[in-house]
Amino acid sequence: MRKQVQNKIKRSLPYIGSFLFFIIMLAWALLSANGKKVDVDALLTDPGSGSVLVQTGGVRINNNQFEEDIFVAHLDGEEIDTTENRLENLKPGEYTLELEIEGYNTWKSQVFVEPYLITDVYPFFFTHNPEVEAVFNTHIPIDSISYSINGDYAYYVVKDASKGSDNGIFQLQLSTVNTFFTNEANGPRKIANLLPEFEEAVRSSSYSLLPSPDNRKLLVISDNSDQVILDVETPGLNISGSLTTIEELVGYKPESFEWFKGSASFIIKDKNLLAEAIISTKKTIVITYTPNSEPIYGLNGDSLVFFSPADNLLYTYKDESKQSVSLENRIIPETISKLWVDKNSANFVIFESEGAFYFMSIPDSYITEIESGISPISFSNDGKSLLYRKDDLWKTFTVTEIPIRNEFETRINTIPNIELQEGENDTLWWNSQSTHLLRLHTKSDGNKILRAYDKYSQNEVLILENPDIVENSIYMLQDNQKAFLLFKNEISGPKGEDDIDDVLSENYLYSINFEVEETDQSN
């Protein structure tokens, strides 16, 4: 009888073991799903301490360049596995995360892991040796270049080509067209010849180009003549004698003007007046008039935010009407002296009040102070980062929304300092996607160094070092895979009065490709 019982027990052991294993794995899965894991060290050394179960978080790697799990990840110097571009079951705390891909610069950042939360990181990888190549097969000297707000097009002027037909104002598509039949960018389109209305300004290099946000029109801004509006969609309309100028539109030459509502109108400022000038009807709408001060405002493509000293209120202007800005349970300062608006939505505002600078999210009724005594340089297009100077240092202020906690996280970062020598220059600006800062350092010997940083002022990358880089000609596409810039080329010109060849300078358009072939990505 005893033997029969023992046999039954033996036969039951595998089932009991399987059941216990199932229970343990189920418990483990439930704990992991709820952001907890078993601390093995605590379990072995002090199982009764109450710290055996640890609340955990994770890190999600957001990257569109490569397939999942191609990275070699290190957390605080130790290699760690990734699963579908995620690092899971991490104890709360601050870590140093490093991501490596062969052939690319290592991406490194401080990450904060919190219980039950997934921390998102957005690494971008620059190749060690980016490919630099001429955009055109023929040598076309470019006098100046401007880029559209969305980064799809470049607008440039040619005035000294050997063939007269190659001179004029052109539009070049930069972004790639992806269709079923093709995957390439279109060639340049001539928008206009060098017409009498602006040829003198072009010949004397006293002009600039301002494309409309929708790329339908182009404004040729001459320093000493009229501001001419060109039709980009229908170049055949750009004929001398039939062009519209801003002076004809509003009846006078305003102090400043910016495109509004795509290419439908302009926002013009003249002394104490701020108004909208509609092109199709030549109608002017007064937005605000401040008799004792100049208008304080900021705008993007479709919306405008301005401060009214008369009632100490902020207003938004859109669709030919204005509305006061009110925040829930928050008070907007009664005095505002400067104001900036993001280019993407007009939801985010940075303003100065009594020497202090503030960030504000209008939809979220959120205001936070940045720093006092700063000199703002550039507000990123997405409105969540500010580049500024303080105490001779470059700094960035960044805002990150954390939806799961329903709050904002702010960070102030200092960009690595470069001690400038006499005759040197240092220029920084945001890329179009607001993910990186570009930096051009011009040395006293004329050499120029182009660098990039992520928006937290980390991961410095040397992109290019070349004395022939033309300042104010650099633009990085929104996907960060390619940049465009002008290179200066000095050539011998005709002999001068002293019988010595003059040196002429011509600019040519080049691209910098940060991509590598797919075969290299798998290494």
Instruction: Give the model's pLDDT for residue 522.
Output: 43
Indicate if the pLDDT at residue 92 is higher than 60.
Answer: yes
E strands, 337-481, are 338-341, 348-353, 356-361, 366-372, 375-379, 385-390, 393-402, 407-414, 425-430, 436-442, 448-454, 461-465, 475-476
Is the confidence at residue 6, as pLDDT, over 70?
no
Q: Cα separation of 370 and 470, whole Å?
A: 34
Using an 8 Å Cβ cutoff, are 340 and 388 in contact?
A: no
pLDDT in tens, 189-208: 999 999 999 999 999 999 99
Q: Which of 114, 107, 81, 113 is nearest to 95 (CA)?
A: 113
pLDDT at residue 398 tops 70:
yes
Q: Name the percent of the chain lying above pLDDT 70.
A: 83
pLDDT tens digits for 132-143?
999 987 778 999
Does the pLDDT of residue 499 top 60, yes or no?
no
Give me the sheet containing 407-414, strands edge to edge.
Answer: 375-379, 385-390, 393-402, 407-414
Q: Write down the pLDDT at residue 47.
A: 47
Averaged pLDDT for residues 502-513: 81
pLDDT at position 7 is 57
- What domains are defined for the chain? 34-121 (2.60.40)
Average pLDDT rounded to a whole number, residues 83-107: 92
Provide the pLDDT confidence category of residue 345 given band limits of 50, 70 and 90: confident
Lowest mean pLDDT among 220-224, 235-239, 293-297, 447-451: 220-224
Mean pLDDT over residues 455-464, rounded? 88
pLDDT attached to residue 4: 56
Instruction: Report whether 302 contacts 261 (CB < 8 A).
Output: yes
Q: What local confidence, expressed as pLDDT, does residue 518 receive?
A: 47
Residues contacting 173, CB < 8 A, separation 6+? 152, 153, 185, 186, 187
The answer to whether the beta carbons of residues 397 and 380 sit under 8 Å apart is no
Query: Residues 464-477: what's their mean pLDDT?
Result: 93
45 pLDDT higher than 60: no
Reported as a pLDDT band with limits 50, 70 and 90, residue 500 is very low
Distance, in Å, from the CA atom of 198 to the CA atom of 195, rounded to the nearest integer, reads 6
d(CA 201, CA 377): 29
Q: How confident is the model over 330-338, as a mean pLDDT? A: 90
* Owner of token pair 């290592």: 106
Q: Examine the pLDDT at 372 and tell me if it is beyond 50.
A: yes
Residue with tokens 């000095």: 490
Between CA 111 and CA 456 the distance in angstroms is: 11
344 confidence band (pLDDT: 50, 70, 90): confident
pLDDT: is 251 or 515 the higher one?
251
Burial of 121 (C-beta count, 10 Å sphere; 0-12/13-18/19+): middle
Range 161-174 average pLDDT: 93
Report the mean per-residue pLDDT for the chain. 85
CA distance 88 to 14: 32
Which of 6-15, 132-141, 150-159 is modeled with the greatest confidence? 150-159
More confident residue, 286 or 67: 286
Q: What is the mean pLDDT of residues 399-413?
A: 86
Task: Give the model's confidence band at 265: pLDDT under 50 very low, under 70 low, under 90 confident, else very high.
Answer: very high
Q: What predicted TM-score, i.e. pTM, was given to this entire model?
A: 0.82
Mean pLDDT of 156-162: 93
| Confidence class for position 505, pLDDT limits 50, 70, 90 | confident
> pLDDT at residue 5 above 60?
no
